Amino acid sequence: MLKRNMDVKTLSRSQDFFKERIKCYGVKVPTVNKISKEYFKSIEFKEKSEIFDLCESLWKSGYLEESFVACNWSYALHERYEPEDFQIFENWIDKYVDNWASCDTLCNHTLGEFIEMYPEYLKQLMDFAKSENRWKRRASAVTLILPARKGKFLREILKISDTLLLDKDDLVQKGYGWMLKAASEANQQPIFDYVMRNKAIMPRTSLRYAIEKLPKDLKFKAMEK
């Protein structure tokens, strides 16, 4: 079904958004999501373990769109998450995630929802920030985007930012900058204070992301030399 929905323009432009080489069919994301939702109806009655196995098969294909379907299906099961599922999600990051889009789709929703349900796993998430795997380091930050907007886990957000503060990888820099930006929506002053304490050493990429939602006067102060 994905192959049949290939869009020539999407296929020709997809690689432009990634520095690393990706495999893709060239299907627009809304179309992928529609197909994913339609096909999930035919498997939602199955055991969670069976659906996770199907997700794993999709991840193994290496195709971007199939990773999105896997992420959609794993998130669709969020009401059935159990603590032991964390290891499954971590394993997918370790073995299959190889680009920012797959990383963010999995972490923003599946892993982010899991952490909200089982906050005792924040310690393991914080350990991701120390990984040699760039995608795991990015995952430590982007998993908390949606909780951050709700004002949750500020202490952990700042600790993850401390760990990633001087990271040389631009996609990790963007990831934790995005997390700080999301946190600023509910915790403006603590995030501004954090930026001001660290702006002299924080990569400019992270700084620009972090202050994007701040009022103009605070942005100006943050950008001052």
Distances (CA, A) of 80 to 44, 73, 101: 11, 12, 25
Question: Quick check: 225 pLDDT over 80?
Answer: no
Question: Quick check: 174 pLDDT over 90?
Answer: yes
Q: Which residues pair with 84 in a beta bridge?
A: none
User: Which residue would you say has higher pLDDT here, 57 or 225?
Assistant: 57
pTM of the model: 0.94
Question: Quick check: 12 pLDDT over 90?
Answer: no
Question: Quick check: 7 pLDDT over 80?
Answer: no
Q: What is the pLDDT of residue 133?
A: 98
